[in-house]
Structure 1
Amino acid sequence: MRNHIAVDIGASSGRLVLGTIVEGRIRLQEIHRFKNGFVEKEGHCYWDIDTLFDEVIAGLKKAKAQGIDDCTLGIDTWAVDYVLLDEAGQRLHDVYAYRDDRTSQAIADVTARIPARAIYEKTGIQFQSFNTLFQLSVHDREQLRQAASILLVPDYLHYRLTGQRVNEVTNASTTQLLHLQTKDYDKDLLALLGLSRSQFPPLMQPGESLGYLSEPLRAAHDLPDCEVICVATHDTASAVLGVPARQGENWAYLSSGTWSLLGVEASRPITSEQAQEANFTNEWGAYQTFRFLKNIMGLWLIQEVQRHCGGTYSFADFVAAAEQEKPFQSFVNFDDNRFLNPHNMMEEIQRYCQETGQPVPQTPGQIARCIFDNLAILYALSVEEMEAITGNAIEVIHIVGGGAHNDLLCQLTATVSHKRVTAGPTESTALGNLVVQMIETGEVADLHEARQLIRQSFDVKEFVPAETAERAAWFREFRKYTKQT
């Protein structure tokens, strides 16, 4: 039995999860959990990257104390945020968080120089103001000039662990700088930013080894003998690998966490004008796949409401309260940038409803109901768009991640989309991280076998659409109040 550890860090928390195969099933054990979140300093939002690294080391110490003497290790985090290193490997700046508003005008500025259509044809990546392309376009020019290496967050943690500088492809693709045909950084976009290819380390595929922990780390700490495997470092890429889909079914995934990522696993990118207008993205996946998906505001909405309620409501409390409220009273486009990082999420939702002349939700239960109803509508509309663009009818939506716990939202998704929904496993991101390690070490043959192993290891819930004559009215009202066509 081999030991594998997934370092899975999201926008609000991180953890180290031990994965082993026991009697034909994957067994998970959480070793260490810690909080994460950006901090505001001098008008900007930053990640505390040094503390994140310290927490990884703390987790490995716990693993060693529990008797884990050797293991493999894989890291996944969120995408787009980056670290600049000088020639000596020292960080040049604090790490900006993607919710910082410094890029509010960046898309207009960049597309004035290279047309949006040309950028999308090159990269296949949807336009979001926080993409690395737009973050770098507003970064201090002198710091960019001094940068010997530009790494994304998981790549920086790899560097701190092993001394190796690489950029893993599933995360690198989210920068909106990789060219779909050349499979490398696009020279025109680099020129626009005033950067050179030499400032970006070599690209690495999931499943390759980065070697063992560096000698200085092993000398300073009592850690397991640990080989670092480059997994699919973008947490969505890992989550998709952890979807228990069956070979041959037409399926979509909904990775439901801070963000909602809804899409299909594809063998090739789709860069048509229709895909661009619908703002679908073509992120690179593991094992020569693409994630054709829509980025939708997710449980960040309820996380922020919880924060402004002073933590008096658990997420289960919000679901229970929402179930008591009348559904579909107010229609809100939560993909509007005003919900990206407002000062007070509850007040922002109420203000939106006031401005559009709708009933204003007042109680936490009404706010939660408004969030869940409108997320389900956004999911359903995205599935319709995806079917029209790909020409394939979706049979089942697999909801994975923390949102799979929310039975109300899962049932709403089934009913509004009129699709069968499965919910679970909630640990799909850690599982996707772990199965790449297991494939690399030969314990699992390939991704097909890995998904079969996940299916036989974890139970899932099924939701079927409730019959209703109101779906068309919900869509009509949503489009009316959100100016959707």
Structure 2
Amino acid sequence: MDTFIAIDIGASSGRLMLSQWVNQQLSLTEIHRFKNSFRHLDGFDRWDIDYLIKEILIGLEKVKQAGFDTCCVGIDTWAVDYCLVDREGLRLGDPVAYRDKRTNGVIERFSQTYPLQTLYEKTGIQLQPFNTIFQLYVEEKDLLAKADKLLLIPDYLGYVFTGNMVTEKTNASTMQLLNANTQSWDSDLLAAIQVDESLFPPLVDAGTILGKLAYEQFPAYDLPDATFITVASHDTASAIIGTPGSGTDWGYISSGTWSLLGIETNVPKISAAAFDENYTNEWGAHNTIRFLKNIMGMWLIQEVARQQAYRYSFAELAELAKETPGFQQFIDVNDPRFLHPENMISELQDYCRETNQKVPETPGEIARCVYDNLALCYGSELQKLEALTGTTRTLQTLHIVGGGSNNTFLNQLTADIAQCTIEAGPGEATAIGNLVLQMMAVGLFTTLEEARAAIKRSFPCTIHQPSAFDQTIVLTYQSFLKGAQQHDKNPATL
């Protein structure tokens, strides 16, 4: 098999990317792209799974039309959300989106019956109100009673196309239900949310062959002979596989709707300090751990653009920001108020009013406020990351991958604030990580190091060297943030 298809679906868009390994180079061709979003239905914000299935089928049909009769296929999506299916294998409604308000205040409620410190010690996973454990804690009990199996989104899509049910480990780790030491379901946590282990299909490693495409289920489509491989199905797990780092002195920001800032390691770092800073230990492919911090990310600017009816492109917003005086406001980009506001621009302005700061008004001022504070957050979190991991992991290079790697203004701002070299790219790191893990599964690469070397040869990065920067701005930002977050020191208030 020499043709590989990555089905890579994020919170705002999806794509099918085709790759082949030719002359020691990875090719990459976009076959099909489509939008994705949740909508309010039956009382909740929900993903339209049937729409995603249809778009995948359209994309696979385009693969066949392009002359590729056989291929391997891997699916990655966002984490934590799930589909419930009954004993006949039928889906019990569309899945609720992680930004839905049903989990507002859930951590505080959960903490009244189960210690949050113990939860972290068991799993090593950061406290986020949308984690699967908390979604299940507030799930409708009559719906759970009807459910025979729970499938995370990429595992459900794999089941639709092959008829086989699995739970892929890199994505399953984000559920906050797996024990970091035993690497299996934690019975105490399942008991705390009144869920039985039988609800989950068998755990499998990334790189497991899932099965053949069940053509008979889709007679209206002319599809290729496809073998599905269960890749690192959490999109961040795939993105880090697709990050061309080497050695041990590099970190990463997977920059998309969320910004995931961290390092790759082999041992989870579960400590009181990591708990206090809300760092997570997500499982990666080939026995790696992603020790990282979840940051609100490009969602902020995506929502700013949407509220302006997309009058400005993201590139135009970056140019407007570049022409605007910087560091006029400090904001906590991880404040829960920015998770799913009615109007992001109004929310940013209200935050500044409430903290007695200059209110950004023009598109350039609003964009500059977002970019300044994302870069300040990245720089501050890099300092925390080095403190949490020890002096042996002083980072020399920061790789920025994903869609945000194309934002040269934000990348240079980050290099200046963090005072480290940034290598930006590849922009399609998630799809590339998906593809190279398929290639590893069929024997084209034997190690992650070998695969990443091939990625570096195939997709050159843009280098950003740090220039002089007034570090008192960073100190002022950190001081402001410390004061603003005093009421949130207990994660139960999230």
What is the TM-score when the length of structure 2 is the normalising length? 0.96
SS of residue paired to 1:398: strand
Partner of residue 167, structure 1: 167
Deviation at 1:215, TM superposition (A): 4.4
Amino acid at match of 2:332: N
In structure 2, what is the equivalent of residue 358 of structure 1? 357
**What is the RMSD of the two structures over their aligned residues, measured on CA atoms?**
1.2
Query: Do the aligned partners of 1:377 and 1:475 also contact (CA within 8 Å) in 2?
Result: no
Within the alignment, does 1:222 sit opposite 2:222 as a pair? Answer: yes
Residue in structure 2 matched with residue 407 of structure 1 by the alignment: 408
Cross-structure match for 1:346: 345
- Tell me which amino acid in the other structure corresponds to 2:449: H
Letter in 2 for 1:85: V
Equivalent in the alignment of 1:56: 56
Q: Deviations over 1:77-136 (max 9, x none)?
A: 000001110000111122100000110111011121110111001100000000011111
Match of 2:368 in 1: 369
Assess if the C-alpha contact under 8 Å between 2:215 and 2:223 holds in 1: no
Determine helix, strand or coil for the equivalent of 2:417.
Answer: helix
Match in the other structure for 2:492: none
How far apart are the structure 1 equivalents of 2:192 and 2:109?
Answer: 11
Could you tell me whether the CA contact under 8 Å between 1:132 and 1:174 is conserved in 2?
yes
Equivalent residue for 2:321? 322
Residue 471 (structure 1) aligns with: 471
Shift of 1:21: 1.1
2:444 aligned counterpart, secondary structure: coil
Contact 2:329 2:357 in 1 (8 A): yes
Residue identity matched to 1:158: G
In 1, Cα distance between the equivalents of 2:35 and 2:120? Answer: 35
Deviation per residue, 1:287-312 (Å, 9 max, x gap): 00010000000111111111110111
CA distance in 2, matches of 1:42, 1:215: 32
Counterpart of 1:286 in structure 2 is 285
| 1:166-190 deviations in Å (ceiling 9; x for gaps) | 1100110000000112211111111
Q: State the SS of the aligned residue for 1:62.
A: helix
Give secondary structure in 2 for the equivalent of 1:178.
Answer: coil
Structure 1 residue 308 and structure 2 residue 307: aligned?
yes
1:480 shift after superposition: 1.8
Matches within 5 A, 1:419-430: 419-430=420-431
In 2, Cα distance between equivalents of 1:50 and 1:472: 51
Distance, in Å, in 2 between the alignment partners of 1:401 and 1:217 is 34
Q: CA deviation at 1:44?
A: 2.1
The structural deviation recorded for 1:23 is: 1.2
SS state of the match for residue 254, structure 1?
strand
Shift of 1:484: 4.9
Contact 1:396 / 1:422 at 8 angstroms: preserved in 2?
Answer: yes
Residues paired across the two proteins, number = 483
Displacement of 1:218 in angstroms is: 5.7
CA gap of 1:477–1:449, structure 2 versus 1, over 3 A, is closer
Structure 1 residue 211: deviation in Å?
1.2
Once structures 1 and 2 are overlaid, which stretch shifts more, 227-236 or 189-198?
189-198
Conserved 8 A contact 1:328-1:474:
no
**Which AA in structure 1 matches 2:243?**
V
State the alpha-carbon separation in 2 of the partners of residues 96 and 219 from structure 1. Answer: 29
Residue in 2 that maps onto 1:150: 150
Answering whether residue 45 of structure 2 is matched by residue 45 of structure 1, we say yes
Shift of 1:219: 4.5
3-state SS in 2 of match to 1:88: coil
After TM superposition, give the deviation of residue 222 of structure 1 in Å.
1.5
Deviation per CA, 1:195-215, whole angstroms, max 9, x where unpaired?
111110000101110110124
Match of 2:276 in 1: 277
Q: What is the alpha-carbon distance in structure 1 between the residues aligned to residue 361 and residue 196 of structure 2?
A: 52
Alignment partner of 1:442: what SS?
coil
Alignment of 1:150-299 (within 5 A): 150-217=150-217, 219-246=219-246, 248-299=247-298
What amino acid does structure 2 have at the position aligned with 1:121?
Answer: E
Letter in 2 for 1:8: D
Tell whether the 8 Å contact from 1:253 to 1:264 is kept in structure 2 after alignment.
yes
Q: d(CA) in 2 for partners of 1:390 and 1:477?
A: 23
Distance (whole Å) between structure 1 residues aligned to residue 319 and residue 218 of structure 2: 48
Shift of 1:137: 0.5
Aligned match of 2:74 = 74
- Contact kept in structure 2, 1:9 and 1:78, CA below 8 Å: yes
Write the letter of the residue equivalent to 1:63. V
- Whether contact under 8 Å (1:331, 1:478) holds in the other structure is no
TM-score normalised to structure 1 length: 0.98
Q: How far apart in 2 are the matches of 1:474 and 1:435?
A: 38
Distance 2:248 2:280 in 1: 22
Query: What is the identity, as a one-letter code, of the residue corresponding to 2:128?
Result: Q
> Which residue is equivalent to 1:118?
118
Distance 1:286 1:472 in 2: 40
Partner of 2:8: 8
Write the distance in 2 (CA, Å) between the matches of 1:224 and 1:42. 36
Cα deviation, 1:42-100, whole Å, max 9, x if unaligned, reads: 54211001110111111001111111100000000000001110000111122100000
Q: Is the 8 A contact 1:424 1:461 kept in 2?
A: yes
Deviation at 1:15, TM superposition (A): 0.5
Equivalent-residue separation in structure 2 for 1:475 and 1:407 (angstroms): 24
**CA contact under 8 A between 1:265 and 1:290: conserved in structure 2?**
yes
Alignment-derived partner of residue 458 in structure 1: 459
- Tell whether the 8 Å contact from 2:3 to 2:19 is kept in structure 1 after alignment: yes
Q: CA deviation at 1:477?
A: 3.5
Give the match's secondary structure for 2:27.
strand
2 CA distance for matches of 1:24 and 1:256? 28
Deviation of 1:345 after TM superposition, in Å, equals 0.4
- Please state whether the residue corresponding to 1:95 is helix, strand or coil: coil
Q: Displacement, 1:435?
A: 0.3
Q: In the TM superposition, what is the alpha-carbon distance from 1:474 to its structure 2 partner?
A: 3.1
Distance 1:477 1:33 in 2: 39
Structure 1, 90-99 or 10-19: larger mean CA deviation: 90-99
Partner of 1:134: 134
**Structure 1 ranges of 4+ moved more than 4 A:** none
Alignment partner, residue 396 of structure 1: 397
Q: What is the alpha-carbon distance in structure 1 between the residues aligned to residue 276 and residue 411 of structure 2? A: 27
Letter in 2 for 1:101: K
Matched to 2:408, the amino acid is D
Paired residue for 1:91?
91
Moved more, 321-330 or 217-226: 217-226
Query: 1:121 and 1:449 mapped to 2: Cα distance?
Result: 34
What amino acid sits opposite 1:30 in the alignment?
A: E
**Once the 2 structures are TM-superposed, how far is the Cα of residue 453 of structure 1 from its aligned partner?**
0.3
Moved more, 186-195 or 28-37: 186-195
* Alpha-carbon distance between aligned partners in 2 of 1:74 and 1:434, rounded to the nearest angstrom: 7
